[in-house]
A and B are shown apart, each in its own frame.
Chain A
Amino acid sequence: MKKKASSSDYLYEAAGLKKEFDDGQVQALRGVDFKIADGEFVAIVGPSGSGKTTLLQMLGALDRPSAGTLQYRGQSLLDLPDPAAYRAHEIGFVFQAFHLLPTFTAVENVEIPMFENHKTPVERKTRAVELLKSVGLEQRVNHFPAKLSGGERQRVAIARSLANSPSVLLADEPTGNLDSESAKHVLDLLTSLHRDRHMTLILVTHDMNIARRAARALQMVDGHIVFDGDPEKLSMHPIV
């Protein structure tokens, strides 16, 4: 999908996107429209329950919308022949709670996404070590997550998200479990990845200061996008 000529000028195009739970009693997304270009840094902001995580699930093909369309490079994500391949090769996930597997070392955690990539164990390890070096963890390669600080764990998670050289990084509150200093390092790292590798970075947060690092903000309230534009203007929308 990555190498294919795009039939669309946009990376993502959503129209009338809806997601309902419990037979329609809960409406997480109520007809959302947006377009995201390749290489953009977009912050999705909003209060708890506004639908931002649900939207991230749709973008990562972790869930299917109840109605509407969502396209990636012109292809509907609803009709993906192999959603796992899309997640493996196009998407890198960074989670708030890191979600490192506790019985695997840092380098082994980074190797995990490469199992679907037809790499030999040696190639996987070499690549994982390179990625850990690139996030400044060359001294922590063989440490288990329990022996790492929160910031280090998130950096391992970021290295893991880059394992298959994805086009898009989807980050769900990536600094939510970190102290301010670690949070700054993680944000600097994500920002530099976006800038240096020209990756599309879509970051969910409820922190206005973090959102302001993005080039664009989508503000969500009750399943609607109520603001789409320059994050500096978000202060005029104090719902966050």
Chain B
Amino acid sequence: MTFFDVVTRSLGRRRLRTSLTLLGIAVGIAAVVALIGLSHGLVSSWTSGMKSRGTDIVVANMRGSLTPKPFPASTRDRIAHLPGVSATCMILVDLMSIENAELMIVSGREWGCFAWDNLKLVSGRMPNDQNERTVVLGTAAADILKKKVGDTVQIETEELAVVGIVNGGAFVENGSLVLSLPLLQQIMGNQNQISAIDVRVTPGTDIQRLCAEINRLVPEAHADPAGEHIAGSEGYRVINAMSWGTSLLAVLVGVLGVTNTMLMSVFERKQEIAILLALGWRQNRIVRMILWESALLGFFGGIIGVLLGIIGVQLLKHAPALRGMLEPDLRANLVLEAVAIAVFVGVLSGLYPAWRSSRVAPSLALHG
């Protein structure tokens, strides 16, 4: 028998209480995994969308929201000639309620620019020209809207013909409705307004330096390497902070649960602890036993929480408000972080009970 056996045997003694405590931690950790996974997913989904389009730099005004604020299309003329800029593409993008779908990404793209190149036809055709009143749907968008080639889709007051279903090579691209820039500007009443300029750079260009140069020339927007414009936005920071805040609140409930369980356990086992002391165990071994018990509760609670979190995000990503908009990002380091938080929670929760266990008088062994 090892010391670890002693620890696990103690936890197994009160199975129902141990299970409920594990569940308490697991719910907190599941919240961490689900909310942070979704929050990270927002960045990674948009970043992969940018990569799929071959965008190196995004010039946009993201301050205070997740969708960029419009600015004049003429801004492009100030940056297109800069050394290192190989191509630009003006984009107007917004989140809209489309028919029965609560939120969909609608992307108007400058006709003929590189942002159309990644769209591979799955069925139908691309629009014939920028004036044709048609739209192509990403595969996920078509699925959500239950549309096929030949159907029509209502965007604001305009009814557009679906002429093609496309695979954009990224989750966000496949969840989008794509049409020509002038058409979307007309529908939204944003004539000559765009919300982003996608920039491709020539190989070997110093992207950070080019961003700095663009920022100097275009004070009304902000240039960032693709993907960073989301992570650096105020809206994303608010979402991220809220995700962590909500998660940590849930984790705090877990802390109280473990503390309560371990404290009850120490009170119930006072005489047992006294017997162990009488048999020669040192107080620090008793303290270690209690801390290991609570750390193990945290560890197993963390594992269960991660599994619940993964199941949770799978359910959440199909929620009407999120469907097709972002792919949860459950990378390994988030899972490891969540388990590490759970173990930390376990140890933290065990500190006071462990201290109480160290106060048990060995003379109790001879009582009763």
Partner-B contacts on A (CB < 8 A): 53, 56-57, 60, 62-63, 82, 84-85, 87-89, 91, 93, 95, 97, 99, 101-104, 108, 111-113, 115-116, 121, 124-125, 160, 164, 172
Contacts and interface: CB of A to CB of B under 8 A. Distances in A.
A93 to B, nearest CB: 5
Interface residues of B, number: 27
A84 B277 contact: yes
Contacts of B282: 82, 84, 116
Nearest to A124: B1
Nearest to A60: B278
B3 A62 contact: no
Nearest to A93: B278
A238 to B, nearest CB: 26
A115 B285 contact: yes
A101 B365 CA distance: 12
Interface in B263-304: 271-272, 275-283, 285
Nearest to A164: B280
B365 A115 contact: no
Given A87-B278, A103-B13, A93 B365 contact: yes
A62 B9 contact: no
7 tightest A-B CB contacts, nearest first: A88-B280, A63-B363, A62-B363, A113-B279, A84-B282, A62-B362, A87-B280
B286 to A, nearest CB: 10
B332 interface: no
A97 B276 contact: no
A160 B6 CA distance: 16
B219 interface: no
Given A99-B275, A103-B10, A84 B281 contact: yes
B361 interface: yes
Nearest to B8: A103
B366 interface: yes
B204 interface: no
B138 to A, nearest CB: 58
Interface in B1-20: 1-3, 5-6, 9-10, 12-13
19 contacts: A53-B366, A60-B278, A62-B362, A62-B363, A84-B283, A85-B280, A87-B277, A87-B278, A93-B365, A95-B275, A97-B368, A101-B275, A108-B1, A108-B5, A112-B276, A112-B279, A113-B279, A121-B1, A160-B279
Interface in B159-204: none
A96 to B, nearest CB: 8
Interface in B77-117: none
Contact of A103 (B9, B283, B368): B9
Given A104-B9, A115-B285, A62 B278 contact: yes
Given A84-B283, A124-B1, A125-B1, A172 B276 contact: no
Contact of B361 (A63, A101, A111): A63
A89 B366 CA distance: 19
Given A53-B366, A103-B12, A121-B2, A115 B281 contact: yes
Nearest to B5: A108
Contacts of A97: 368
B366 A56 contact: yes
A113 B280 contact: yes
Given A87-B279, A164-B280, A104 B363 contact: no
A31 B5 CA distance: 45
A119 to B, nearest CB: 11
Contact of A89 (B2, B13, B280, B281): B280
Nearest to B278: A93
Nearest to B367: A53
A91 to B, nearest CB: 8
A54 B84 CA distance: 89
Contacts of A102: 13
A176 to B, nearest CB: 12
A223 to B, nearest CB: 16
